[in-house]
Amino acid sequence: MSAAVYPQQLGMLIDGAWHFAGSRQTQPVVNPATEEILAQLPLATDADLDAALAAAQRAFGAWSMVSPWERARIMLKAADLIAARKPDIARMLTLENGKPLTDALGELDRVIETIVWCAEEGKRVYGRVMAPRSPGVSERTIKRPAGPVAAFAPWNFPAFLVTRKLAAALAAGCPVVVKPAEETPAACIEVVRAFQDAGVPAGVIGLVFGVPAHVSRRLIESPVIRKVSFTGSVPVGKLLCGMAGEQLKAVTMELGGHSPVLVFDDVDVQRVVKACVSFKFRNAGQVCLSPNRFFVHERIYDQFVAEFVRAAQEIRVGDGLDPSTQMGPLNNARRLAAAEAFVADAHSRDARVLTGGHRIGKRGYFYAPTVLAQLEPQASILHEEPFCPVVPVMPFATLDEAVAQANNVDFGLAAYAFTGSIRTASHLTEAFEAGWIGINGFTPSLADAPIGGLKQSGVGYEGGPEGLDAYLHTKYVSQACPL
DSSP letter assigned to residue 249: -
Q: CA 179 to CA 228: how far, in whole Å?
A: 11
Enter the DSSP assignment of 282.
G
Rg (CA), the chain: 23
E-strand stretches of 374-423? 390-396, 411-412, 414-418
Strand partners, 291: 259
Residue 201: partners with Cβ closer than 8 Å, 6 or more residues away: 16, 59, 62, 63
The span from the CA of 274 to the CA of 414, in Å, is 19
Distance CA 405, CA 389 (A): 21
Catalytic option among 174, 188, 241, 288: 288
Q: Count Cβ atoms below 10 Å from residue 88 Cβ, excluding itself.
A: 14
238 to 60, 112, 256, 483: CA distances (angstroms): 28, 31, 11, 51
385 labelled catalytic: no
For residue 367, the 8-state DSSP code is B
* Residue among 258, 298, 262 nearest 424 (CA): 262
Which of 182, 183, 254, 462 is an active site residue? 254
Residues 6+ apart with CB under 8 A from 77: 198, 199
Active site residue 288: yes
List residues with catalytic annotation: 254, 288
